[in-house]
């Protein structure tokens, strides 16, 4: 099983976080012979190598989506029938479904407005939207 990203809490896929770009070096295995030099996990955010992740990631909050709840709510209210709010949070698959079905005939549209408003709507990684 893959672990969770130490930067943002999203699930890691092959040691790489698809959410914030965190990349875990594949030297953590206990079966791998250790070299004398300590191996530091390399952290790559948006294709930029960040020396100090504490100072270099102002937009990353651990366990919280980078997507704004307010933006998602407005998109859902005005464009929810087209699934635009689901594209916004990265849920492309259900976004296309909403686009083709008119927000699942308006039902999913209404449900999503409620879910976003009460704060239980999640992004593609299952993280709650930030305020």
Applying CB under 5 A, which part among 11-19, 39-47, 61-69, 116-124 lies near Zn ion? 11-19
Q: Which of 7, 72, 113, 129 binds Zn ion (CB under 5 A)?
A: 7
Q: Does residue 43 belong to the site contacting Zn ion (CB under 5 A)? A: no
Token pair for residue 6?
């130490």
Q: Which of 20, 43, 73, 89 binds Zn ion (CB under 5 A)?
A: 20
Least distance from C-beta 2 to Zn ion, angstroms?
12
> Considering beta carbons, is residue 60 or 76 the nearer one to Zn ion?
60
CA distance 92 to 115: 18
CA distance 101 to 34: 55
Token pair for residue 91?
């849920």
Q: Does residue 8 belong to the site contacting Zn ion (CB under 5 A)? A: yes
Q: Between the CA atoms of 53, 55, 57 and 59, what dihedral angle is there, to the nearest 10 degrees? A: 150
> Considering beta carbons, is residue 81 or 90 the nearer one to Zn ion?
90
Tell me if 127 sits within 8 A of 20, measured CB to CB.
no
Q: Which of 13, 22, 45, 66 binds Zn ion (CB under 5 A)?
A: 22
Tell me if 57 sits within 8 A of 20, measured CB to CB.
yes
- Residues lying near Zn ion in the complex (CB under 5 A): 5, 7-8, 10, 17, 19-20, 22
């Amino acid at each position: 099983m893959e672990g969770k990203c130490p930067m943002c809490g999203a699930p890691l896929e092959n040691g790489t976080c698809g959410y914030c770009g965190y990349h875990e070096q594949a030297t953590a295995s206990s079966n791998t012979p250790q070299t004398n030099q300590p191996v530091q996990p390399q952290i790559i955010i948006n294709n930029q190598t960040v020396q100090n992740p504490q100072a270099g990631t102002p937009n990353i909050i651990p366990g919280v989506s980078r997507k704004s709840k307010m933006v998602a709510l407005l998109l859902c209210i005005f464009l929810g029938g087209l699934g635009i709010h689901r594209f916004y949070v990265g849920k492309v698959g259900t976004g296309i479904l909403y686009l083709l079905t008119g927000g699942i005939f308006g039902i999913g549209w209404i449900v999503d407005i409620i879910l976003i408003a009460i704060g239980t709507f999640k992004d593609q990684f299952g993280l709650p939207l930030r305020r």
